[in-house]
Amino acid sequence: MELTVKSSVAKVVSQLDARPVSKRIGLVALATDHTTEVDFSRMLKGQDVGVYVNRIEFENPTTRESLLRTGPRLAAAAADILPGETLDVLVYGCTAASVVLGNDKVAEHMNEAKPGVPCVTPSSAAFDAFIALGVKKVSVLTPYTKDVTDSLAAYFSQRSATVLNAACFELTDDREMARISRESIIEGGVAACAEDADALFISCTAVRAAGCVEELENRLGKPVVTSNQAMVWRCARHLRMTTDVPHGGLLFKT
């Protein structure tokens, strides 16, 4: 004998908010990146902002050639972040690639998919951070090889603060860069920073340097800017957000 059950499900009228969160950041990260998402999540904790991430293929070792190959992948990656919806900021989370490609070219690729959206890279964010902090001369610490570090130093000196000196860990795999210990970052930063530098810049979104800023500034007595710290700060400026990042350093007090 079949039983007939009448449906008791009633339709409820829903009201839709304009967005689930008020601000949207689209982040393109390397497939091998361990650090950028973690830093964004930590530094934006408690803010009404969503960080929507897509990853692009990347082949180690980190060389000029492997970095250049990321450029043509950016438009498709950006397009797949909330397709058909607007973003407030686009971020490409690779410092060395932004230097090799150039920030204008990165923005061109990203804006193919999301026209008119401001684009942030670690190097462009660092340049803005130097202006905000009044930095004219910097020392640089990178995890890269000497040739990639030389390219970064030249790019920075030509477009922003003069690089007085640079030191590097000479690694070629960004997965190893993500494993550089806190002690190594701090001691390496102290050793790398010239006495007459206005600030220390620590490059690479893979390196866990954002969490070392406060201790380094206490040791050095001058500002410290890192790739991920600068990107989060610059995104907050674009979004007109007031950020209170514990241990975020002098940059977040500007």
Domain chopping of the chain, boundaries: 23-121+232-248, 123-227
- Is pTM beyond 0.85? Reply is yes
Q: How confident is the model at residue 247 (pLDDT cuts 50, 70, 90)?
A: confident
**pLDDT above 90: residue 120:** yes
- Residue 54 forms beta bridges with which residues? 28
Quickly state the pLDDT bin for 6 (edges 50, 70, 90). low
pLDDT score for 3: 63
Residue 78, pLDDT > 90, answer yes
Under 8 Å between Cβ of 227 and 205 = yes
Query: Residue 125: how many CA atoms within 13 Å on its side-chain side?
Result: 34
CA-to-CA distance for 251 and 254, rounded, in angstroms?
6
pLDDT for 1 beyond 80: no
Q: In Å, how far are 142, 143, 161, 186, 203 from 178, measured between CA atoms?
A: 12, 9, 26, 14, 12
Q: CA-CA distance, 34 to 30, in Å (whole number)?
A: 9
What pLDDT score does 125 carry?
Answer: 98
Over residues 62-88, the mean pLDDT reads 97
Class in CATH terms, 123-227: alpha beta
Q: What is the pLDDT of residue 5?
A: 63
Q: Which fold has domain 23-121+232-248?
A: Rossmann fold (3.40.50)
